[in-house]
Chains A and B, each alone.
Chain A
Amino acid sequence: MILLANGPLPYVLGVYAVPHGGGSPTTLFGTAMAATGASGLAAAPRNDGILFTALPFGVAQATFQLLHFDRARVLRTLSALPPTFRFVPIGIVDQRGDLLLLNYSADAVEGGIFRWSPPAKTLTTVAPALPNAAAMVEDLLTGDLRVGTASGDVHRLARSGQIVSTQRGVLWSFVNARVKFETHLVDGSVLAAWGNLLRYDPRTGATATLAPLVPGGIPLGLDYNPFHRDHYVTQNVDLQRYDITTGRGVQLW
């Protein structure tokens, strides 16, 4: 099952499922899919659940909340996030079972990586002061974090949060906060989506284009489906499935 969340950006009005073979989205939560399209993607999630951040509707001075759409049936609030959290483009589960949240901000102080631990529901800072950090994955081979910025740089961070090195300008010069990363679990490279689907070798900094994405689209989700061993990219009102070995894409919706 592929789960989508629907815009208009930056808000999402519903969560939808699309089968692996493609077809019209089925509404799981919220209002019917609007023409503004998807704003997030989770492929074959564990327990068919996803996490996302949200603003409580109609509450003055509200802050983002971390939500869990459990088993594609129950919506639960896990935690309120600090007011400095205004855009969380990605969160990944790390080896401790914690959730690492990337808070995007152009501000030199607010942007960074934060650890949310489920048992205590505590939020701690992993890597502060990462302005324009927009995408994040775990490096399969080393366990380090690879963080892409909206200016096209990629930082390598140790698990402690310390920046070990930075590769300048390895991504497109025109990427923005919507660039998406995903670990390629077969060879340890990093897949990136912005304009094209691209493979980035974190060890050498080399990049190679795998497939063009829909022109003018904004990549809103990039995820791997371990059951079918393929990748999914959603852009606006478009959902594609890609075979990374051939670069061949199939439009699902």
Chain B
Amino acid sequence: MQTFPSDVVTWGSRMLTGAGIPTPGAVYAIHLVVPSESGRPFRAGAALGALTGIPTPAGRIPLDPDALLLISLTNPAMFRGFAGLLDATGTATMTLAIPHAPGLRGLRFFVAALTYGPAGIRRITEPLGILVE
């Protein structure tokens, strides 16, 4: 069918996207897509803030150095797949096992990732904000 499209809606101008409903007890998926970095190693983390960030020569990592960042970097059982290699399409899927604690509802936190090589950091993603529902 021939079509005459109308307005373009902004979609996918991000390297990180979520999938599923982030509720207490749920396993929430996060997709990382950096086509130019296929096969490269990556590392992701989470933090309660994203505005201070961590300055690096490659730019600012939009994760504040707080307690959640430390947990996300040291707890692979909860933050699954937060380190690894991007596949041939530059894609990786991470999952976050949200603790079954109703008190987490309303918590806002952020996830970001970076790719790196022998010379250091190559790409830093934008922050993905997640609100526990």
A interface residue numbers (CB < 8 A to B): 3-5, 10-13, 15, 39-59, 64-65, 67, 75, 77, 87-93, 95-97, 99, 101, 138, 140-143, 159, 182, 185-188, 220-221, 223-227, 229
Contact = CB atoms under 8 A, between A and B. Distances in A.
B8 A50 contact: yes
Given A46-B33, A140-B50, A159-B133, A53 B15 contact: no
Interface string B1-37: 1111111111111110111111000000000010110
A76 to B, nearest CB: 11
B5 A52 contact: yes
Contacts of B65: none
A95 B22 contact: yes
Given A45-B13, A143-B131, A87 B4 contact: no
B81 interface: no
B17 A53 contact: no
Contacts of B11: 42, 45-46, 49-51, 91-93, 99
Contact of B4 (A11, A182, A187): A11
B29 to A, nearest CB: 8
B17 A93 contact: yes
Nearest to A48: B35
Interface in B47-101: 50-51, 59-60, 62
B22 to A, nearest CB: 6
A56 B50 CA distance: 43
A51 B123 CA distance: 25
A90 B10 contact: yes
Contacts of A96: 18-22
B129 interface: yes
Contact of A226 (B5, B15, B108, B131): B15
Interface of B: 1-15, 17-22, 33, 35-36, 50-51, 59-60, 62, 108, 123, 125-131, 133
A52 B6 contact: yes
Contacts of B21: 96
A50 B9 CA distance: 7
A27 B59 CA distance: 34
B129 A3 contact: no
A98 B73 CA distance: 28
Contacts of A87: 6-7
A75 B35 CA distance: 20
Contact of B7 (A40, A45, A229): A40
A220 B3 CA distance: 20
A221 B8 contact: yes
A5 B12 CA distance: 16
B108 A142 contact: yes
B94 to A, nearest CB: 14
A143 to B, nearest CB: 4
**Most B C-beta atoms less than 10 A away, residue of A46, A55, A77, A138:** A46
Nearest to A119: B19
Contact of A53 (B9, B19, B60): B9
A142 B125 CA distance: 19
A12 B127 CA distance: 32
A43 B6 contact: no
A138 to B, nearest CB: 7
Contacts of A77: 1, 3
B100 to A, nearest CB: 19
B13 A224 contact: yes
The 4 residue pairs across chains A and B that have the minimum distance between CB atoms: A40-B8, A91-B9, A46-B12, A143-B131
A84 B15 CA distance: 33
B49 to A, nearest CB: 9
